[in-house]
Amino acid sequence: MPKLLKGPARDVRSRVFDSARWAGYKPRADDIIIGTYSKCGTTWMQRIVSMLVFGSDAPRPIWELSLWPDMRVFGPVEPIFAAAEAQTHRRFFKTHLPLDALPVHEGVKFIHVARDGRDAAMSLHNHLLNFTPGGIAKLNEVSRADPRFGDDYPATPADPGKFFADWLTDGGGQGDAAASFFSVENSYWAERVDRNVLLVHYNDLKSDRAAEMRRVADFLDIEIPEPLWPGIIAAAGFEEMKEQGDALLPQASMTWEGGAARFLHKGTNGRWRTAVAKEELDRYDALVKTHFTPGLARWVEHGRLAGVDPANT
């Protein structure tokens, strides 16, 4: 087993995520962990990494391949790690926890995808608003059973502006500020010069997907034959992923009305400009100034291709 370099510095337990569930993780030296705040391009990166790992643009079920230990609504974590132990391909996990709530082992690589918090919140609103009754029941079950909460998961308001105002109360931490957007971004930013941590930005994936995918491949020490690159790059496009949604996300219909088509909603930025009141946007700006350094604030809003290189900021 790879050497443990750093144990979790804190416990994080929101209504939906729990860092304690990672206690049973048995790392392999070439594991990959994709860590993000919700709705920042996690599934996009999982699809990219899947294609790089398998060297193919064939659609594969992302959630079956890329396991998610901290998600509480999946029930006991033991079957998740049993499934991970049975995987023979290079493993790539998903987490929505801050990096300092996770164990760090020698050789294990972390990929973080950042996005403007206002865009992440708008996407999360659509995500939560369209849960099926069964999906809501699972959220309620976990929340009620936890003595920290003991009640139903908060209802999602139809108005995105109201949702954003609520989101600001704990930075989107869903019951634990340590799981907030601000906490997650700070934790990965703090390790940005670590050779086993790669920071990618949603805006950069949209602006130059090919170059960013090659950055990811280089980081993972994966060589893709040049003739395969065009197909792999094309398959990571939003419209292409949406067309293949049922193959990529076959379980989505169990949780979201409209299934994969709803989960892969728009992939656009800037909806907050017309959906959120100025006073709430001012509150967001104040929180950014409070929680982020100027360099991190520029990175989160703009990305690397806009001139903010995390390695040199």
Give residue 265's pLDDT band: very low, low, confident or very high (50, 70, 90): low
Residue 256 has what pLDDT?
A: 60
Given a cut of 70, whether residue 146 has pLDDT beyond it is: yes
Residue 255 has what pLDDT?
A: 67
CA dihedral for 249, 250, 256, 262, sign (positive or negative): positive
Lowest mean pLDDT among 68-77, 256-265, 300-309: 256-265
Domain hosting residue 206, numbered range: 4-312
Q: What is the domain count for the chain?
A: 1
Q: Which residues have a Cβ under 8 Å from the Cβ of 113 and sit 6 or more positions away? A: 34, 36, 40, 41, 42, 44, 45, 200, 201, 202, 205
| Residue located via tokens 């919140």 | 121
Q: Convert the pLDDT of each residue in 64-87 to its tens digit.
A: 999 999 999 999 999 999 999 999
d(C-alpha 74, C-alpha 46), whole Å: 19
- Residue 185: CB atoms within 10 A of its CB come to 28
Given a cut of 70, whether residue 258 has pLDDT beyond it is: no
Given a cut of 60, whether residue 171 has pLDDT beyond it is: yes
Q: Convert the pLDDT of each residue in 89-139 to its tens digit.
A: 999 999 999 999 999 999 999 999 999 999 999 999 988 988 888 889 999
Residue 22 has what pLDDT?
A: 98
Given a cut of 90, whether residue 222 has pLDDT beyond it is: yes
d(C-alpha 233, C-alpha 128), whole Å: 29
Ramachandran angles phi, psi of 114, nearest 5° = -105, 160
Q: What is the DSSP letter of 259?
A: H
| H/E element, 308 | none
pLDDT more than 70, % of the chain: 95
Residue 49 has what pLDDT?
A: 98
| H/E element, 168 | helix 160-168
Residue 266 has what pLDDT?
A: 61
Give residue 269's pLDDT band: very low, low, confident or very high (50, 70, 90): confident
Report residue 246 as tokens.
């049922």
Which CATH number do you get for residue 224? 3.40.50.300
Q: Which residues have a Cβ under 8 Å from the Cβ of 205 and sit 6 or more positions away? A: 41, 44, 113, 212
Q: What is the DSSP letter of 109?
A: E
Ramachandran angles phi, psi of 36, nearest 5° = -145, 165
Q: Convert the pLDDT of each residue in 180-210 to its tens digit.
A: 999 999 999 999 999 999 999 999 999 999 9
